[in-house]
Structure 1
Amino acid sequence: MPPNTARRQTSGWQASSQVSEPAPGVFFVEGPASNWIIVKDQSGFILIDSGYPADRTLVIESIEHVGLVPSDAQALLITHGHADHTGSAAYFSDTYGTPVLCSPEELRQVQGVVKHQIGFAQVLPRAWNPRVFRWAAHAIAAGSLTAKPATAARAWSVEELRGLPGSPQAIVVSGHTPGNVSLLLAAVDVIVTGDSFITGHALSRHTGPQMLHRMFHHEPVRAVAALEALAGVDASVILPGHGPALSMPLSDALASLRI
Structure 2
Amino acid sequence: MELLRITPTVHQLPLPVGHVHLVRLPDGFAVVDTGFPGSAPAILAALARLGGRPQQLRQIVLTHSHLDHMGSAADLVAATGARVLAGALDAPVISAAAPEPEPVYTPAERALHQQVMAGFADADTPPLRHLTVDVELHDGDTLDGWGEPVHVLHVPGHTPGGIALHLPTGGGVLFPGDLIATAEHRAILGPINVDRAAAIASFRRLAALEPDTLCVPHGDPILRGAGPVLRAATPEQDWL
Please classify the TM superposition score into its range, dividing by the shorter chain length: 0.7 to 0.9
Q: 1:127 to 1:42 in 2, by over 3 A?
A: closer
1:256 aligns with 2:232: yes
Using the aligned pairs only, state the percent identity: 21
- Secondary structure of the 1:198 match is strand
- Tell me how far apart the structure 2 counterparts of residues 64 and 194 of structure 1 sit (CA, whole Å): 25
Where do 1:121-132 residues align within 5 Å? none
Q: Which residue of 2 aligns with 1:246?
A: 222
Which digits, 9 at most, give the CA deviation of each residue in 1:23-69, with x for residues without a partner?
11111121111111111133221111010012222111211121211
The answer for unaligned runs of 5 or more in structure 2 is none
Q: 1:152 to 1:190 in 2, by over 3 A?
A: closer
8 Å contact kept, 2:47–2:53:
yes
1:62 aligns with 2:38: no
Corresponding residue to 1:81 among 49, 57, 65: 65
- Secondary structure of the 1:54 match is coil
1:192 aligns with 2:175: yes
Q: Which residue of 1 aligns with 2:87?
A: 103
8 Å contact kept, 1:74–1:164:
no
> Letter of the aligned partner of 1:241 in structure 2?
P
Displacement of 1:194 in angstroms is 1.4
Where do 1:124-143 residues align within 5 Å? 133-141=114-122
> Letter of the aligned partner of 1:208 in structure 2?
R
Q: 1:159 to 1:32 in 2, by over 3 A?
A: same
**TM-score scaled to structure 2, two decimals?**
0.84
- Tell me how far apart the structure 2 counterparts of residues 177 and 97 of structure 1 sit (CA, whole Å): 27
1:149 aligns with 2:125: no
Q: 1:41 to 1:100 in 2, by over 3 A?
A: closer
- Tell me how far apart the structure 2 counterparts of residues 57 and 218 of structure 1 sit (CA, whole Å): 31
Corresponding residue to 2:209 among 233, 246, 254: 233
Higher helix share: 1
- Secondary structure of the 1:39 match is strand
8 Å contact kept, 2:141–2:151:
no
The answer for unaligned runs of 5 or more in structure 1 is 1-13, 201-205
Q: Which residue of 1 aligns with 2:200?
A: 224
Q: Which residue of 1 aligns with 2:153?
A: 171
- Tell me how far apart the structure 1 counterparts of residues 194 and 125 of structure 2 sit (CA, whole Å): 17
Q: 1:165 to 1:69 in 2, by over 3 A?
A: farther
Equivalent pairs counted in the alignment come to 233
Corresponding residue to 2:23 among 26, 39, 49: 39
Structure 1, 22-31 or 141-150: larger mean CA deviation? 141-150
**TM-score scaled to structure 1, two decimals?**
0.78
- Secondary structure of the 1:222 match is helix
Q: 1:126 to 1:232 in 2, by over 3 A?
A: closer
Q: 1:166 to 1:257 in 2, by over 3 A?
A: same
Q: 1:207 to 1:117 in 2, by over 3 A?
A: farther
